[in-house]
């Protein structure tokens, strides 16, 4: 049986979605408030300039699979799935304006009042997490007098196309993300996309909405970072192309998921020192590189989040697992755990620490000098028995993944709170009454 889809908003996203779906045998009805766009669609002309789109639209229009209308009732009555592809611009203060998404939902909802068959509404416009559930869904329910999940479904399906290569991006996407509240809703969307390349991810509505922002945030970060590094290279007379080529060739740590897992602040003998050195050199060169300069303050803020999280519990007896800056080393230099201990002691907490890699007697050189300057009496806080750390604590801070979880579990009482800084997987988490992940 053919699938009939309506597309609300015939701008870049709507036109490309319409052209690509129609090209793959789906019947598409475009809807736009702009009569010129409706007219262009019906004439088989593309309302936007995008390589290859004109041909796709003309071909589908000629084969009877593509038309456009301003009649919303007809679009809802004659199709099974509606994609919302309207604009979501910035307001002058930066806030996202989702008023058009809301208005379209009200219009679709009003048309759904008289429709008996189940309909699926898909939010494809870029919207912040919670919009599908908190704005689109209530608007649809109110206007239709029907219930989401029962009479109609709602999904989130963010668009990842890039203008200029939008058709290839649609047909061979890096990924397809389908957010929903129910298996029934997502099944018809999965079926609709069965022919596109790349991996399909099914998730919640808000996770799907957030993925779009993480992607765009990361892409923007990469561009700004590359531009700042190129700027330093140029000023230092270093070949930026050569540096970038070699930098991106490392697929283990550089172009990879490494370091992209939410966790605790970074530290250790290299990253903070090297960032400071580069920032200082940049200042000497009279350059302004705000992204580079923002990394250490961002890291310090993350450390403060851990301090706040622990202090807000209003419990003073803290047990910390892990002191060195990462597992498998006894290096304490610029360890964020050491800084965390110092902050907590300063706030009046009592802290006991277990880290089998750290034996103060064995520390030598700059590592020893660092800890003696930073927390001279740290020796009195370190204990050999991990059970002792738990027994005396009201808050247990997990700062290393190298934990004997069974032992911890056997000592843990229901009054104790766990603060996780290392991002244990859900399966690994301790069955504690109170568990707080620092940023998850």
Ligand X SMILES: NC(=O)c1ccc[n+]([C@@H]2O[C@H](COP(=O)([O-])OP(=O)(O)OC[C@H]3O[C@@H](n4cnc5c(N)ncnc54)[C@H](O)[C@@H]3O)[C@@H](O)[C@H]2O)c1
Site residues for ligand X per CB under 6 A = 8-14, 31-34, 37, 85-88, 100, 103-104, 125-126, 159, 161, 163
**Cα gap 243→409, rounded to integer Å:** 48
Residues 6 or more apart in contact with residue 201 via CB below 8 angstroms: 175, 176, 177, 178, 211
> 164-167 long-range CB contacts below 8 Å, 24 or more apart?
164/50, 164/51, 165/51, 166/12, 166/16, 166/50, 166/53, 167/16, 167/19, 167/20, 167/50, 167/51, 167/52, 167/53, 167/56
Distance CA 198, CA 77 (A): 32
Tell me which residue has tokens 């190298």.
Answer: 402
Q: Of the two residues 163 and 239, which places its CB atom closer to ligand X in the complex?
A: 163
8 vs 266 by CB, closer to ligand X: 8
We find the least distance from the C-beta atom of residue 65 to ligand X, in angstroms, to be 20
Residues in the chain: 440
Instruction: Identify which of residues 89 and 290 has a Cβ nearer to ligand X in the complex.
Output: 89
Of 91 and 253, nearer to ligand X (C-beta) is 91
Q: Least CB distance from residue 260 to ligand X, whole Å?
A: 22
**Residue closest to ligand X, measured at CB:** 11
Contact 125, 157 (CB under 8 A): no
Q: Minimum CB separation from ligand X for residue 89, in Å?
A: 8
Our answer to whether residue 155 is catalytic in this structure is no
Min dist. Cβ of residue 92 to ligand X (A): 17
Catalytic residue among 270, 349, 411, 439: 270
Closer to ligand X by Cβ: residue 9 or 267: 9
To ligand X, the closest distance from the beta carbon of 87 in angstroms equals 4
**Nearest-CA neighbor of 284 among 232, 333, 325, 359?**
232
Query: Could you tell me the two tokens for 149?
Result: 């999940």
Q: What residues are annotated to the active site?
A: 270
């Amino acid at each position: 049986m053919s699938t009939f889809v309506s597309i609300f908003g015939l701008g870049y996203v709507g036109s490309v979605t319409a052209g690509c779906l129609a090209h793959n045998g789906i019947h598409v009805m475009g809807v736009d408030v702009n009569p010129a766009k409706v007219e262009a669609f019906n004439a088989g002309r593309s309302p936007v300039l995008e390589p290859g789109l004109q041909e796709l639209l003309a071909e589908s229009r000629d084969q009877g699979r593509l038309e456009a209308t301003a009649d919303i009732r007809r679009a809802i009555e004659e199709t099974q799935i509606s994609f919302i592809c309207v604009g979501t611009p910035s307001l002058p203060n930066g806030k996202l304006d989702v008023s058009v998404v809301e208005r379209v939902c009200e219009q679709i909802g009003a048309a759904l009042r008289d429709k008996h068959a189940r309909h699926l509404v898909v939010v494809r416009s870029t919207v912040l997490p919670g919009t599908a559930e908190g704005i689109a869904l209530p608007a649809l329910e109110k206007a239709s007098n029907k219930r989401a999940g029962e009479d109609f479904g709602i999904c989130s399906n963010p668009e990842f196309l890039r203008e200029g290569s939008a058709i290839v991006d649609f047909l061979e996407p890096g990924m397809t993300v389908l957010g929903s509240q129910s298996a029934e809703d997502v099944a018809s969307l999965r079926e609709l996309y069965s022919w596109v390349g790349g991996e399909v991810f099914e998730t919640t509505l808000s996770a799907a909405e957030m993925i779009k922002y993480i992607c765009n945030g990361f892409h923007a970060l990469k561009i700004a970072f590359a531009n700042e590094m190129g700027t330093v290279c140029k000023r230092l007379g270093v070949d930026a192309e050569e540096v970038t080529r070699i930098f991106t060739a490392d697929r283990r740590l550089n172009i990879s998921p490494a370091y992209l897992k939410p966790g605790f602040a970074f530290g250790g003998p290299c990253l903070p020192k090297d960032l400071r050195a580069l920032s200082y050199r940049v200042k000497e060169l009279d350059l302004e590189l705000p992204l580079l300069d923002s990394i250490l303050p961002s890291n310090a803020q993350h450390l403060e989040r851990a301090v706040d999280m622990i202090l807000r519990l209003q419990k003073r007896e803290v047990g910390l697992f892990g002191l060195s800056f990462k597992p498998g080393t006894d290096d304490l230099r610029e360890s964020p755990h050491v800084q965390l201990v110092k902050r907590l002691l300063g706030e009046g907490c009592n802290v006991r620490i277990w880290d089998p890699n750290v034996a103060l007697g064995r520390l030598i050189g700059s590592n020893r000098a660092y800890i003696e300057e930073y927390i001279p009496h740290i020796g009195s806080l370190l204990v050999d028995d991990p059970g002792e750390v738990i027994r005396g604590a009201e808050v247990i801070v997990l700062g290393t993944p190298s934990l004997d979880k069974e032992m911890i579990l056997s000592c843990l009482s229901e009054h104790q709170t766990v603060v996780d800084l290392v991002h244990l997987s859900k399966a690994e988490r301790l069955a504690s009454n109170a568990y707080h992940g620092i940023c998850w």
